[in-house]
Amino acid sequence: EDKVVQSPLSLVVHEGDTVTLNCSYEVTNFRSLLWYKQEKKAPTFLFMLTSSGIEKKSGRLSSILDKKELFSILNITATQTGDSAVYLCAVRLDDYKLSFGAGTTVTVRA
Amino acid sequence: DGGITQSPKYLFRKEGQNVTLSCEQNLNHDAMYWYRQDPGQGLRLIYYSQIVNDFQKGDIAEGYSVSREKKESFPLTVTSAQKNPTAFYLCASSSRLDYGYTFGSGTRLTVV
């Protein structure tokens, strides 16, 4: 059975803190790993990772994949209240299907 | 603007009634998907469709049905056979999965 496990399930930080979210996976057929941000309703795409060790960055967010140890991390530096959301990790299994983790709820306090 | 529209945003139904959730996209995407989201469980795949007039069961298809008569539309029916239908339902579409899915804003279904 394919598994995508995210940790922690939730965390609370103060503005300016740095956050590290983890995603580990055990799947039969790995194509790529994706991160999404879900604030209220529709998840929005953040990153897609296919190669180990290559960091992807977008502003204060960055992510990296380790295909040997089967995990990815998502970092958020200098957090702001607007970063409060559920962060979803998903693994692409084939041309169409994604398997999602349970998500990490991040709350940033002013 | 291109996107995915789900309707309604909120839906209340009595137990034992079938209900249909709408999902329309104007992105010209071939594939469409229905996911269910429950607290602490992430997104679970109900059904997906790669082309018109074809669809496949996902991990939790029991108690649900779909149709794909048009490329733009992929409605989901929650039947009375679904034991725990109260949940948040997300529709998504993709053309090439390399760029991930585009999601709708979701429908929150409450069965009382």
List, for residues B17-72, the tens digit of each pLDDT value.
999 999 999 999 999 999 999 987 889 999 999 999 999 999 999 999 999 999 99
CA distance A74 to A38: 14
CA distance A52 to A70: 10
CA distances from A59 to A63, A77, B38 (A): 11, 9, 30
- SS3 of B51-99: ECCEEEECCCCCCEEECCCECCECCEEECCCCCCCCEEEEEEEECCHHH
The burial class, CB within 10 Å (0-12 / 13-18 / 19+), for B23 is buried
Residues 6 or more apart whose CB falls under 8 angstroms from that of A52 comprise A65, A66, A67, A68
What 3-state DSSP class applies to A82? helix
Q: Which residue of B has its CA nearest to A105?
A: B40
* Interface contact B103-A42, CB threshold 8 A: yes
Residue A89 pLDDT: 97
* Interface contact A42-B104, CB threshold 8 A: yes
**Chain A residues contacting B via beta carbons under 8 Å:** 4, 6, 9, 31-32, 34, 36, 41-45, 48, 88, 90, 92, 95-103
Q: Are B58 and B46 in contact (CB under 8 A)?
A: yes
* Interface contact B90-A48, CB threshold 8 A: no
The pLDDT confidence band at residue A97, using thresholds 50, 70 and 90, is: confident
List, for residues A19-34, the tens digit of each pLDDT value.
999 999 999 889 999 9
Q: Is residue B1 scored above 70 in pLDDT? A: no
Q: What are phi and psi of B22, to 5 degrees?
A: -95, 145
With residue B42 as reference, give the H or E element that holds it: strand B42-51
Q: Is residue B98 scored above 60 in pLDDT? A: no
Q: Are A4 and A43 in contact (CB under 8 A)?
A: no
Which residue from A88, A97, A102 is facing B48, i.e. has the nearest CB?
A97
CA distance B68 to B53: 5
Q: Are A88 and A100 in contact (CB under 8 A)?
A: yes
Cα Rg, chain B, nearest whole Å:
13
Residues 6 or more apart whose CB falls under 8 angstroms from that of B39 comprise none
* Interface contact A34-B100, CB threshold 8 A: yes
* Interface contact A88-B94, CB threshold 8 A: no
List, for residues A57-82, the tens digit of each pLDDT value.
999 999 999 999 999 999 999 999 99
DSSP state of B45: E
Q: Number of A:B CB contacts under 8 A?
A: 55
Q: Is residue B101 scored above 80 in pLDDT? A: yes
CA distance A73 to A92: 16
